[in-house]
Structure 1
Amino acid sequence: MKKTHIIIVLLLSVIWSCDKDLLDRDPVSEVAPENFFIKASDLELYTNNFYRMFPEEGIYNGDRAADNIIETTLSEEMRGARIVPTTKKNEGWSWEYLRDINYFLENYERCEDEAAKKHFGGVARFFRAWFYFDKLRRFGDVPWYEQTIDPTDEEALQKPRDPRGSVTDKIIEDLDFAIENLDDNTQAFRITKWTALALKSRVGLYEGTYMKYRGMDGYEKYLTASYQASEQLMNDSPYKIYSTGNTKEDYMVFFASHDAITDEMILARQFLTSQAVDHKANYYMTTSSYGRPGMPKDLVNSYLNADGSRFTDNPDHNSMSFTEEMTNRDPRLSQTVRAPGYTRMGENITLPPNMGATVTGYQPIKFVNEPQYDTYDESITDLPLFRYAEVLLNYAEAKAELGILTQADLDVSIKLIRDRVGMPNIQMAEANATPDPFMADQYLNINGANKGVILEIRRERRIELYMEDFRWDDIVRWKAGQKITRPLRGLYLPGAGEYDLEGDGDIDIVLYEGDAPDNQVDGIQYLKINSDVFLDADNLIDPHPTFNNRTFDEDKDYLYPIPRVELQLNPNLEQNPGW
């Protein structure tokens, strides 16, 4: 059964409206520090509010913004259609949580419980790092505040943006404090030392590669911080890759589990029907009325064959039938999208892809469990915020980008991830000797002796972390924006005719032109060409035929614009380049 739900909406939020901004909130101490911050329970109660900063079902927003999940409507990022917002509403330029964190840090040392003071001080410093890492990724340079602001303090209110390098250093400083002071137990829904190490691993990799691929000096220290934090977690923590030895199901089961599997889950967002805390993953991926998400064909093509050879080395890889291309592949493919033989959890009826629920024909199933949770806002799978596999990937990538990766490093990182599904490990010498041309065409700015192995780590990262909110950030830090302007394609369906998508001899789809066929059979999907489905010149599904000439502005699109009203409120702020 579920663990007791963690209450993250704290009593203080009744007093502190989340509509207030850092720059216009009353500085009067809403909670008198001489009467609060005394007991361990006071510190816990206060810091519980910070957990509201974590995303809910937005766990896959970074995939929807980029080229991992294609929907009926393309994101503004994919269309190149972002504009400068007028106000800060839902645009990321919000500071209320920072004020709450800094208020806590100014007062928590009044606590009489030394152990609690140490731990919850670490919790607050973790969340300040989380807060600023979000701002850094979105806006680049941002003002750094580590104290509450009096509304009469014009100098603080008119503060200019601090350089991203100094902001990153402050984030690392906060995380180092958190690592030193947080409890080192394992709790799937609470911040611990291991969560702070995982975030430091993530921050260091992000900023290190962001700088490296823009020719900025000093990137090495961040990549070093990343792999060292990863290594500490790998050596000292109890985490491991979840595996029962069932290579055909373990990856899928891990994400469809009702309860976070704590072997691998470092931190998760908890969901409980009994507390009316649910999300929409099942509904999102099974209904025809909510985005119709689909995996793009270029990602399907990225999955290796089951023996570790490259699927795209076959010159016919774009003209195989669905059953052919799904056969003898990396088992994660059939555990991430509907493939021949797919059944819902708790049922034994095989189901082909539902073309009404996916625009590409490759229908995602990650996080999907029993049909009883298919209705809107009924899913209860705990969603990952940090898991051990990401740390292993960060470790390998950071070392590869520094030029110090060895085969032994891959053996203690990528190999563990691939062992779960019975896939061969990356062989560094082979990868560097013959870089995959398919992968190299996707990431044009990789050079040097480690080009091949970096490409393989990027392949692994996109596959393993699919739908976990990393893809947009990866595109940005690798300076690979042109990747998301590439053509978007789906299943190969060579024109009008009947198609068996399960290989069982039964017809699953009929494509037709002109009038719909008479005497339609229940259970068969009938799709009209150039109406229900569009095919390109190579007979691949084109989910967005009117958006095949998308653009990405290399000079501005890696960052988001600051809302206009904020520039008016603080004339010392400067807008991001190009906006």
Structure 2
Amino acid sequence: MTMKNIKIIFILLLAVLTGCSDDLLNKEPLSDVTEDNFFTKASDLQLYTNGFYRLLPSTSIYNGDTRAGNILETTLSEEMRSARTIPTTGGGWDWGYLRDINYFLENYQRGDNASAIAHYGGVARFFRAYFYFDKLKRFGEVPYYDYTIDPDDEESLQKPRDSRQFIVEKILEDLDVAIENLNQDQQLYTVTKYTALALKSRVGLYEGTYEKYRNISGYETYLEASIEASEELMNNSPYKVFSSGNPSSDYLNLFNSHDAVGTEVIFAREFNTALDVDHNVNYYTTTSSYGRPGMPKDLVNTYLNADGSRFTDRPDYNQVFFTEEVANRDPRLSQTIRTPGYTRKGQTQELPPNLGATVTGYQIIKYVTEPQYDTNDQSITDLPIFRFGEIILNFAEAKAELGTVSQTDIDNSINVLRNRVAMPHITINAANNDPDPYMQNQYPQVKGNNAGLLLEIRRERRIELYMENFFWDDMVRWKAGQFITRPLRGLYVPGPGEYDFDGDGDTDVVFYKDDAPGNQIEGIQYLKLDSDVFLSENNLIDPQPNFNNRSFNENKDYLYPIPRIELQLNPNLEQNPGWE
């Protein structure tokens, strides 16, 4: 048996283990698979490409926001602590999937089923683009290969990095081929034309803004590519912003549905008890023993009041008690964290935030379902990888960055998201004539005629896409790394005393100093100041009192280091700046 035969069998076994339909299992035995008789049937192509789906993210979809402190936990990420080091091996420098994809693209056209060949070739092209986009974001320039490498091919093995622009052009080229050939069926868990359009929308915006904020010429081409793909999805696809006409629950229900909502979700990661594929978001957000994730106050502050006015325009915005702070705000706030009146899915009991389960006091509820799924690794909510809400945000931002945005563009994008939660619309003139000082302080690099509008788009993006693993990438492409050195804060605690966090007139939390109160009442949380909870100088919860002096190196920290062993194996590779 040749090495190539072994390779095919290995990929098939992985594809079977990662899930495929029953009809794919009723095929000729793997022992009969050879280089000559494989890749000849549609089922062969499907079975092989099933292995590519292992590239997709899993729980990082919802806990990836910890990298930039958009979710705060008991332990800060290495990125937040400036604690990244150069690994000897690993570190994301893994090329096995690329070899599988390129091997497929060199062999998949052996059969006579033209439609299957076109579609599965498109699937492979999508995943090669996805693979290289991930590498580009992490390492910047990398060697580009669109062929399998022979172990004796020293020239290829010691190839230097290709330019950033070359890699992006190759990514977009693959996506254009994929868009042309992929099936147009509406599928939640498999790649289609719409999935490739969504990735093109994301890639174009990322690279266009990455280059714009680093003064690299030619960035406009990528923003235009993002707009083109976004418009195709907006005008010629079955997707739209999910809404049932209930602004107080539609955003929450989009994410706590067991099965992805196909109205808006273009592509999702499937989780299912019957398939024994699950994750731990309920356990992650409800237990006191696993991370204790919480929303940071600087994000809570950016949610507008329900009438569209700015919460941070009030001079005491950092000294407002919780029940008043969260009242009459953008409805997405109460559909993302526990606020007064919150009930678990399928239940009627109103629950205050559990301050023992969140380091900031703002307890996250996005993706959380019924209590029966609270045990570790029992959650089965599907997790969105691409959804229409992102696409229209990409569209609005790309148009605004290019300076070609119109009020109609904003009405067809940002304001559609606001319609879902019955929030007042953004108008370009109002946004640009009165930029938000709080947002300006967060993003001082935003300047120009559309500065006010861009700040509003960034507000909308961070709120709408919270806990969907976008914020680190957004911070990188905006060249906004200093943002993660901001003070990390939680909710306001006036001092020791008894507090009602759900507004029902009963005490929910007691903060105390020195000795614990006697005769403690069941159902009330007792937290010791300077032990269980630390407060800043202005009485905001300080979730990380030992990490208030953090730094971000603008010349180093946007990229990750290449492992040492790779630099030894390929002397033509150069380490990323600052990591030498």
TM-score class, shorter-chain normalisation, is over 0.9
1:45 to 28, 43, 47: 47
Q: For 1:272-295, what per-residue CA distance to the aligned partner results, in whole angstroms no more than 9, with x for missing partners?
A: 111110000000000011100000
State the shift of 1:9 in Å: 8.2
Separation in structure 2 between the aligned mates of residue 578 and residue 562 of structure 1, nearest angstrom:
11
Q: For 1:514-563, what per-residue CA distance to the aligned partner results, in whole angstroms no more than 9, with x for missing partners?
A: 00000001111001000000011110000011100000000000000000
TM-score w.r.t. structure 1 length? Answer: 0.95
State the shift of 1:67 in Å: 2.1
State the shift of 1:33 in Å: 3.2
Equivalent residue, structure 1, for 2:26: none
State the shift of 1:347 in Å: 1.0
Separation in structure 2 between the aligned mates of residue 230 and residue 322 of structure 1, nearest angstrom:
39
Equivalent residue, structure 1, for 2:465: 465
Equivalent residue, structure 2, for 1:86: 88
Equivalent residue, structure 1, for 2:35: 33
Counting only pairs closer than 5 Å after superposition, residues 87-166 of structure 1 correspond to structure 2 as 87-88=89-90, 91-166=91-166
Equivalent residue, structure 2, for 1:306: 306
State the shift of 1:60 in Å: 2.4
Q: For 1:40-74, what per-residue CA distance to the aligned partner results, in whole angstroms no more than 9, with x for missing partners?
A: 11100000000011011110243110121000000
Conserved 8 A contact 1:47-1:123 = yes
SS in 1 for 2:498: strand
Equivalent residue, structure 1, for 2:356: 356
Q: Quick one: structure 1 residues 443 and 15, their matched pair in 2 at CA, closer, same or farther if it must change by over 3 Å?
A: closer
State the shift of 1:34 in Å: 1.6
**Amino acid in structure 2 at the alignment position of 1:284:** Y
**1:432 matches 2:432:** yes
Equivalent residue, structure 2, for 1:203: 203
Q: For 1:234-289, what per-residue CA distance to the aligned partner results, in whole angstroms no more than 9, with x for missing partners?
A: 10001011110010001001100001110000000000111110000000000011
Separation in structure 2 between the aligned mates of residue 549 and residue 38 of structure 1, nearest angstrom:
60
State the shift of 1:219 in Å: 0.4
Conserved 8 A contact 2:15-2:47 = no
Equivalent residue, structure 2, for 1:295: 295
SS in 1 for 2:384: strand
Equivalent residue, structure 2, for 1:21: none
**Amino acid in structure 1 at the alignment position of 2:298:** D
Unaligned runs of 5+ in 2: 1-9, 19-31
TM-score w.r.t. structure 2 length? Answer: 0.95
Separation in structure 2 between the aligned mates of residue 490 and residue 299 of structure 1, nearest angstrom:
10
Separation in structure 1 between the aligned mates of residue 98 and residue 159 of structure 2, nearest angstrom:
15
Equivalent residue, structure 2, for 1:5: none
Conserved 8 A contact 2:15-2:50 = no
Separation in structure 1 between the aligned mates of residue 16 and residue 267 of structure 2, nearest angstrom:
27
State the shift of 1:87 in Å: 1.2
State the shift of 1:457 in Å: 0.3
SS in 1 for 2:527: strand
**Amino acid in structure 2 at the alignment position of 1:107:** N
Conserved 8 A contact 2:67-2:79 = yes
Equivalent residue, structure 2, for 1:73: 75
Equivalent residue, structure 2, for 1:567: 567
Equivalent residue, structure 1, for 2:194: 194
Counting only pairs closer than 5 Å after superposition, residues 192-231 of structure 1 correspond to structure 2 as 192-231=192-231
Equivalent residue, structure 2, for 1:273: 273
**Amino acid in structure 2 at the alignment position of 1:67:** G
Equivalent residue, structure 1, for 2:58: 56
State the shift of 1:32 in Å: 3.5
Q: For 1:52-106, what per-residue CA distance to the aligned partner results, in whole angstroms no more than 9, with x for missing partners?
A: 1101111024311012100000000011111111111xx1100000000000000
Q: For 1:304-340, what per-residue CA distance to the aligned partner results, in whole angstroms no more than 9, with x for missing partners?
A: 0001111111111111110101110000000000001
**Amino acid in structure 2 at the alignment position of 1:229:** A
SS in 2 for 1:274: coil
**Amino acid in structure 2 at the alignment position of 1:476:** V
Equivalent residue, structure 2, for 1:448: 448
Q: For 1:182-202, what per-residue CA distance to the aligned partner results, in whole angstroms no more than 9, with x for missing partners?
A: 011110001000000000000
**1:284 matches 2:284:** yes
Separation in structure 2 between the aligned mates of residue 225 and residue 559 of structure 1, nearest angstrom:
24
**Amino acid in structure 2 at the alignment position of 1:165:** Q
Separation in structure 1 between the aligned mates of residue 36 and residue 424 of structure 2, nearest angstrom:
60
Conserved 8 A contact 1:122-1:179 = yes
SS in 1 for 2:108: helix
SS in 2 for 1:110: coil
Q: For 1:485-540, what per-residue CA distance to the aligned partner results, in whole angstroms no more than 9, with x for missing partners?
A: 00000010011011100111000110101000000011110010000000111100
**Amino acid in structure 1 at the alignment position of 2:369:** N
Q: Quick one: structure 1 residues 15 and 495, their matched pair in 2 at CA, closer, same or farther if it must change by over 3 Å?
A: closer
Separation in structure 1 between the aligned mates of residue 135 and residue 62 of structure 2, nearest angstrom:
18
Runs (4+) of structure 1 moved beyond 3 Å? 12-16, 30-33
State the shift of 1:14 in Å: 8.7
Conserved 8 A contact 1:338-1:362 = yes
C-alpha RMSD over aligned residues: 1.4
Q: Quick one: structure 1 residues 474 and 124, their matched pair in 2 at CA, closer, same or farther if it must change by over 3 Å?
A: same
State the shift of 1:346 in Å: 1.0
Separation in structure 2 between the aligned mates of residue 288 and residue 513 of structure 1, nearest angstrom:
21
Conserved 8 A contact 1:395-1:413 = yes
Conserved 8 A contact 1:87-1:565 = yes
Separation in structure 2 between the aligned mates of residue 67 and residue 232 of structure 1, nearest angstrom:
34
SS in 1 for 2:489: coil
Equivalent residue, structure 2, for 1:412: 412
Separation in structure 2 between the aligned mates of residue 482 and residue 368 of structure 1, nearest angstrom:
31
**Amino acid in structure 2 at the alignment position of 1:154:** E
Counting only pairs closer than 5 Å after superposition, residues 549-560 of structure 1 correspond to structure 2 as 549-560=549-560
Equivalent residue, structure 1, for 2:316: 316
Conserved 8 A contact 1:305-1:329 = yes
Equivalent residue, structure 2, for 1:20: none
Conserved 8 A contact 1:9-1:48 = no
Separation in structure 2 between the aligned mates of residue 565 and residue 425 of structure 1, nearest angstrom:
53
State the shift of 1:11 in Å: 2.3
**Amino acid in structure 1 at the alignment position of 2:575:** Q
Separation in structure 1 between the aligned mates of residue 429 and residue 297 of structure 2, nearest angstrom:
28
SS in 1 for 2:341: coil
**1:237 matches 2:250:** no
Q: For 1:134-180, what per-residue CA distance to the aligned partner results, in whole angstroms no more than 9, with x for missing partners?
A: 00000000000000000011101111111111000000000000001
Separation in structure 2 between the aligned mates of residue 191 and residue 429 of structure 1, nearest angstrom:
40
SS in 2 for 1:423: coil
Aligned residues: 557
Q: For 1:398-440, what per-residue CA distance to the aligned partner results, in whole angstroms no more than 9, with x for missing partners?
A: 0000001111000111111111111112111000001000000
Separation in structure 1 between the aligned mates of residue 334 and residue 317 of structure 2, nearest angstrom:
17
Equivalent residue, structure 1, for 2:491: 491
State the shift of 1:213 in Å: 0.4
Separation in structure 2 between the aligned mates of residue 220 and residue 365 of structure 1, nearest angstrom:
38
Equivalent residue, structure 2, for 1:11: 13
Separation in structure 2 between the aligned mates of residue 315 and residue 131 of structure 1, nearest angstrom:
47
Equivalent residue, structure 1, for 2:330: 330
**1:183 matches 2:196:** no
Separation in structure 1 between the aligned mates of residue 414 and residue 11 of structure 2, nearest angstrom:
38
Separation in structure 1 between the aligned mates of residue 198 and residue 425 of structure 2, nearest angstrom:
23
Counting aligned pairs with the same residue, the percent is 68
State the shift of 1:15 in Å: 12
Equivalent residue, structure 1, for 2:5: none
Q: Quick one: structure 1 residues 533 and 179, their matched pair in 2 at CA, closer, same or farther if it must change by over 3 Å?
A: same
SS in 2 for 1:273: coil
**Amino acid in structure 1 at the alignment position of 2:518:** D
Conserved 8 A contact 1:12-1:46 = no
Unaligned runs of 5+ in 1: 1-7, 17-29
**Amino acid in structure 1 at the alignment position of 2:274:** S
Conserved 8 A contact 1:62-1:473 = no
Separation in structure 2 between the aligned mates of residue 407 and residue 431 of structure 1, nearest angstrom:
11
Q: For 1:106-131, what per-residue CA distance to the aligned partner results, in whole angstroms no more than 9, with x for missing partners?
A: 01111210000011110000000000
Separation in structure 1 between the aligned mates of residue 405 and residue 69 of structure 2, nearest angstrom:
28
State the shift of 1:12 in Å: 5.3
